Amino acid sequence: MTGQEEPDDSRDDNGTGSGEAAHPETAHPEAAESETTGAETTGAETTGAETTGAETTESGESGTARPGLAGTPTWSRVVIAGALAVALLLVGATGGMLLAENREGADTAASRTAGADPVSVGFAQDMAAHHLQAVTMSNMVRDRSDNRAVRQLAFDIGSTQLEQVGRMKGWLMLWGEPEQAVGEPMTWMSGHGENADGDGGAHGDAGAHGDGNAPRSAGDPLMPGMATEDELARMRSLSGEELDVSFLQLMLRHHQGGVDMARYAVEHSEVGAVRMLAQSMLDVQGAEVDLMRTLLAERDAEPLPFP
């Protein structure tokens, strides 16, 4: 119709344009935004739930919450501290047991050595004095002899008997006994130190010295096999083969003189260590006696007669 506007067909019955119907998100931006936000929120909650479940599952395997970056969990510290405490207690208990055993062993050893029997004491005192003369003669020849075999023998005798002297004097100290005996020598052996009449010593003029309570002096009687001062002085004046022969003769007789004391100690001492040492003397000096006899024979010399 001329002069009238043509009807607008782009609107629908509700008064909404076709463009809006074709693009509902554009037509209602707030509603679309609200729906989008809700979906995102729901997804985030779902993701958080999944994450929480995963963490819960993982932590459930160990039975505790996962440790953080701060350090060791509390239960681990408790276990370590407890283990250290137990270890310290065990070390302390072990140390206490060892100290107690050592103290008990020392007390037992002291009780065994305290108050030794007269045979052990007398043997240690007299044999130590007997040995010291052998050491003196050995040192003299070791430094002056020209013969290698004699020097070696003198070295062996001197070093061995000096060590034994130290051992016997150590025993005497533990027993609370004097290193030097008083009165006549070898009274600890039955039949020694007194003759049948009871008025003298069994060896020379043993009964003529002192009252039996004074320590022995250089003038007291010699024990069997020991060299006199004159014999020692003569040996000092010799040299060469004469020195070797004099040493071999005096030392051979010296060894023979100690046999009775050592054998008596083996048979009558109540201390095991004393018996062992005395037996060792018999074994070693027996071999040395055989060697000295051989060395004397090589020099066409005879042993000295034994008193």
97-127: pLDDT as tens digits: 555 555 555 444 444 445 699 999 999 999 9
Task: Name the pLDDT band for 183 (thresholds 50, 70, 90).
Answer: confident
Q: What domains are there in the chain, each with its CATH number? A: 114-298 (1.20.1260.10)
Backbone angles phi, psi at 194, to 5 degrees: -155, 130
Reported as a pLDDT band with limits 50, 70 and 90, residue 83 is: low
pLDDT of residue 226: 97
What average pLDDT score do residues 20-32 get?
A: 43
* Of 268 and 209, the one with more pLDDT: 268
Single-letter amino acid, residue 71: G
Distance CA 197, CA 266 (A): 28
Tokens 């020694």, residue located? 192
Confidence of residue 142 (pLDDT cuts 50, 70, 90): very high
Comparing C-alpha atoms, which of 164, 121, 129, 152 is closest to residue 271? Answer: 121
pLDDT surpassing 60 at residue 92 = no
**Residue among 78, 83, 120, 200 at smallest CA distance from 209:** 200
Average the pLDDT over 255-266 and give the result: 97
Q: What is the mean pLDDT of residues 280-302?
A: 97
* Mean pLDDT across 208-222: 48
Asked if the model's pLDDT at residue 225 lies above 60, the reply is yes
Instruction: Report the chain's mean pLDDT, rounded to a whole number.
Output: 72
Percent of the chain with pLDDT over 90: 50
State how far the Cα of 11 lies from the Cα of 113, in Å rounded to an integer: 132
pLDDT: which is higher, 303 or 40: 303
Q: Comparing C-alpha atoms, which of 292, 269, 289 is closest to residue 279?
A: 269
Q: What distance in Å separates the CA atoms of residue 151 and residue 138, rounded to the nearest whole number?
A: 8
pLDDT at 265: 98
105 vs 264 pLDDT, higher one:
264
Phi and psi torsions of 129, nearest 5°: -65, -40
Q: What is the 3-state secondary structure (H, E, C) of the chain?
A: CCCCCCCCCCECCCCCEHHHHHCHHHHCHHHHHHHHHHHHHHHHHHHHHHHHHHHHHHHHHHCCCCCCCCCCCHHHHHHHHHHHHHHHHHHHHHHHHHHHHHHHHHHHHHHHHCCCCHHHHHHHHHHHHHHHHHHHHHHHHHCCCCCHHHHHHHHHHHHHHHHHHHHHHHHHHHHCCCCCCECCCCCCCCCCCCCCCCCCCCCCCHHHCCCCCCECCCCCCCCCCCCCHHHHHHHHHCCHHHHHHHHHHHHHHHHHHHHHHHHHHHHHCCCHHHHHHHHHHHHHHHHHHHHHHHHHHHCCCCCCCCC
